[in-house]
A = this chain, B = another copy of it.
């Protein structure tokens, strides 16, 4: 069974108020993106890695790889204007893989996904077509509508993470759908194409690094988890 990881690192970094896009920030001595790639590289079975980067960052990433002696094998693909378009570019590169492949589509800024989630995700997606990691919401949530709002039962909702795992031909087919702003993740694309999404347990530490304070939290998490 062929395993692929499409890692999307398209963020422009404007939310960080920093020159360096967040995926290139140095955490624990290496670029954040290295740590994310490394989770897949460390898995026993060989996983082919496709990295989707904005055109303007490809050269920077190559320099970082040289500087930090990063030797993880990966194919670099140029991304598009939105996450949807970037994932589509990544999947296009996967056309060459066999029909029984499974693909993990993952955010470049989530280096803390556990090995267990990855192994489980590939296995479940191979059997069921998809595997989407979710974690419970531990805070109270409210539904807002204009100036009105109401408490909603939180046990009815969950937070969705990446990597999201799919049977390769099915997700390639799903991504033939026209782009919509409501596609905040791949599961939304998959289900809009009429397929059913299968949920699995995620790991809570698998947070998205999006703000300056997240960087220092990430340093701490490395100390705890590695």
- Contact yes or no, B161 A139, CB < 8 A: yes
- Contact yes or no, B210 A154, CB < 8 A: no
Question: Oligomeric state, in number of copies?
Answer: 2
Q: Mark A141-173, 1 if CB is under 8 A from B, else 0.
A: 111110011111110111111000000000000
Interface membership of A182, Cβ < 8 A: yes
Interface membership of A18, Cβ < 8 A: no
Q: Give the residues in chain B near A199, CB-CB below 8 Å.
A: 142, 144, 149
CB distance from A192 to the nearest CB of B (A): 9
A220–B138 alpha-carbon span in the complex (Å): 21
A224–B140 alpha-carbon span in the complex (Å): 26
Interface membership of A177, Cβ < 8 A: no
Query: Beyond A156-B145, A160-B139, is A216–B208 a contact (Cβ under 8 Å)?
Result: no
A: number of interface residues (CB 8 Å): 47
Of A22-30, A33-41, A115-123, A183-191, the segment with at least 4 beta carbons within 8 Å of chain B is A183-191
Q: Give the residues in chain B near A68, CB-CB below 8 Å.
A: none
Query: Beyond A182-B153, A213-B224, A217-B221, is A160–B140 a contact (Cβ under 8 Å)?
Result: yes
Interface membership of A134, Cβ < 8 A: yes
Interface residues of A (CB under 8 A from B): 132, 134, 137-145, 148-154, 156-161, 182, 184-185, 187-188, 191, 196-197, 199, 204-205, 208, 210-211, 213, 216-217, 219-221, 223-225
